[in-house]
Structure 1
């Protein structure tokens, strides 16, 4: 089992960062790796069990299912249903915590999945890049007021 963990302190309040994370269907609207994000069957984006689909800008698409969403714990857990890669049993979770100094937010994001050994380094780099870029998107939105 491959495990990826990325964390960051963001220059955003907990509420600002949570607004991004909580909208499970919006990832393709602001993350530069993805586009055309939608929730299938018109379900609410905060409904556990909903499925988001989005295109990868470099080609292919992903389908992910929301497994947990907690406003109290500022937590989101999901699994990949489809990816154009040889990954299996991918589950990820992101959680946010307030940082009182400077009114910032700490985010941690992890994923566990199975991938062939010869593809592991590339898969880890891809997941780490996706997670880090999300944290950067939150920082950029705060700076630009979006």
Structure 2
């Protein structure tokens, strides 16, 4: 789905306000702005500035939470956005399956080698 992102203006990727630019394998690109990064709370939040998806006001948060009954971690990824009502079901599935699940699958591959 994505080609490796670049951070605009050679800013550090962990600098709040930095903008990541993803070129999509299918064409087009997505630009995201880092809004929050908290090592203390194990979370980051970002907004989408530009996207080929027909949505606006997209803000997502990814947070890790410890599970107390073992050596495990709960990962939660949420997003809110506005879109036309006829696009809503499609975009919820696209973000959930195409973005979030793809990201979780990649993390699973990294941590289960």
| Interval containing the TM-score (normalised by the shorter chain) | over 0.9
Aligned position for 2:107: 138
Aligned position for 1:94: 62
TM value normalised by structure 1: 0.73
Q: CA deviation at 1:102?
A: 3.6
Count residues with an aligned counterpart: 112
Rounded to whole Å, the distance in 1 between the matches of 2:3 and 2:70 is 32
Rounded to whole Å, the distance in 2 between the matches of 1:77 and 1:141 is 22
Gaps of 5+ in 2: none
Rounded to whole Å, the distance in 1 between the matches of 2:56 and 2:100 is 19
Q: CA deviation at 1:58?
A: 1.9
Aligned position for 1:122: 90
Q: Secondary structure at the match of 2:17?
A: coil
Alignment of 1:37 onto 2:5? yes
Select 2:41's aligned residue among 73, 83, 94. Answer: 73
Rounded to whole Å, the distance in 2 between the matches of 1:59 and 1:102 is 42
Q: Deviations over 1:67-100 (max 9, x none)?
A: 0000000010000000012211111111101123
Aligned position for 2:75: 107
Q: Deviations over 1:29-83 (max 9, x none)?
A: xxxx211310000000000000000112222100000000000000100000000
Rounded to whole Å, the distance in 2 between the matches of 1:63 and 1:109 is 18
Aligned position for 1:28: none
Rounded to whole Å, the distance in 1 between the matches of 2:63 and 2:112 is 22
Alignment of 1:46 onto 2:14? yes
Aligned position for 1:60: 28
Q: CA deviation at 1:113?
A: 0.6
